Amino acid sequence: MDIGVSIRNMGTQSTRELMAACARAVEEMGFESIWITDHIAIPPDDAEGSGGRYMDTLTTLAWLAGITERVKLGSGVLILPYRAALPTAKQVATVQELSGNRLVLGVGIGWMDAEFHALGVDRRARGRISDEMLGFFHDCFAQDEVEANGQAFLFKPRPPRPPILIGGRAPHAIERAAKYGDGWFPMARGPHDVASALPQYRELSEAAHKPPGTITVSVRLPLADPGHSRDLLDEYRSVGVDRLICGMRYDTIDEYREQLDRLKGALDA
């Protein structure tokens, strides 16, 4: 099971200096991937934890690609209906190309009413918009010449398509993952949440004539208790999780490194 780590691209922790230091620490310590989240229009009455300060996801991943060399770079998750399909596909291809094919594209359909209102997007259409974008992404990365709105155009650069992980809970997310994704990125309260939905995901993948993709989960581990953390890691691994992303709470690089050390300790316990 691969181990990824989150970096806060929001709130007071989202300074250039702190994010860079955290990214370099993750790479130096040999973790598989770095993950950031996505919000673009936090309302004033729901800004707790971030103060409404969020760095753009794809821009931040491009910047992280420039200051790292080996670690994979993940969106956890990019909200598709917030964005136009063609410019987003171009941004994704650019990050993939310039990072040396290190992008892992976690995507979701969104949930916050205020953000949909700010963007003028009908929240009820989020599933349809997301499916259309995913189909378009596949077309763009499959061939140099693509068509949009009746206009043919060249999609270059065209690096290998990054793995697409579909975020969200069963049943809708696993249906979308089976059809469009290379993996499922569930919101799990515990290992049992993943285990209970995996049979359906495998059945849907088989019906779509494709092998089941990877399973990625994002969790907070009780890192102050290495034994308990190790038990949870073993449980997630045993139910079939391929990648676990550990969320971190910190305000300084020293606190972040301490969390990474504890995670290493749990893995080595």
Domain containing residue 29: CATH number: 3.20.20.30
Regions in the chain scoring below 50 on pLDDT? none
Q: How far is CA 103 from CA 57, 204, 208, 239, in A?
A: 12, 26, 25, 26
What is residue 64's predicted lDDT score, i.e. its pLDDT? 98
Q: Give the angle 129-130-133 at the CA atoms, nearest 5°.
A: 85
Closest CA to 214 of 264, 178, 160: 178
CB 21 within 8 A of CB 254: no
What is residue 139's predicted lDDT score, i.e. its pLDDT? 98
What is residue 177's predicted lDDT score, i.e. its pLDDT? 97
What is residue 58's predicted lDDT score, i.e. its pLDDT? 98
Show the tokens assigned to 141: 């990365």
Task: For residue 149, count other CB atoms closer than 10 A to its CB.
Answer: 6
User: Which residues are bridge partners to 72 per DSSP?
Assistant: 33
Cα separation, 48 vs 44, whole angstroms: 9
What is residue 189's predicted lDDT score, i.e. its pLDDT? 85
What is residue 170's predicted lDDT score, i.e. its pLDDT? 87
Report which residue type is found at 9: N
Taking only the tens place, the pLDDT of each residue in 114-159 is 999 999 999 999 999 999 999 999 999 999 999 999 999 999 999 9
Secondary structure E strands in the chain: 2-6, 33-36, 72-79, 103-108, 145-148, 151-154, 164-167, 183-185, 214-219, 243-246
Q: What are phi and psi of 72, to 5 degrees?
A: -75, 155
Cα separation, 21 vs 195, whole angstroms: 36
DSSP H or E run through 61: helix 57-67
Could you give the number of structural domains in the chain? 1
User: Which residues are bridge partners to 153 per DSSP?
Assistant: 146
Closest CA to 187 of 105, 108, 83: 108
- Exposure string over 186-213, b if 16+ CB within 10 A, otherwise e: bebeebeebbebbeebeebbeeeeeebb
Closest CA to 183 of 157, 165, 201, 196: 165
For residue 83, the enclosing domain spans 2-268
Average pLDDT, the chain: 96
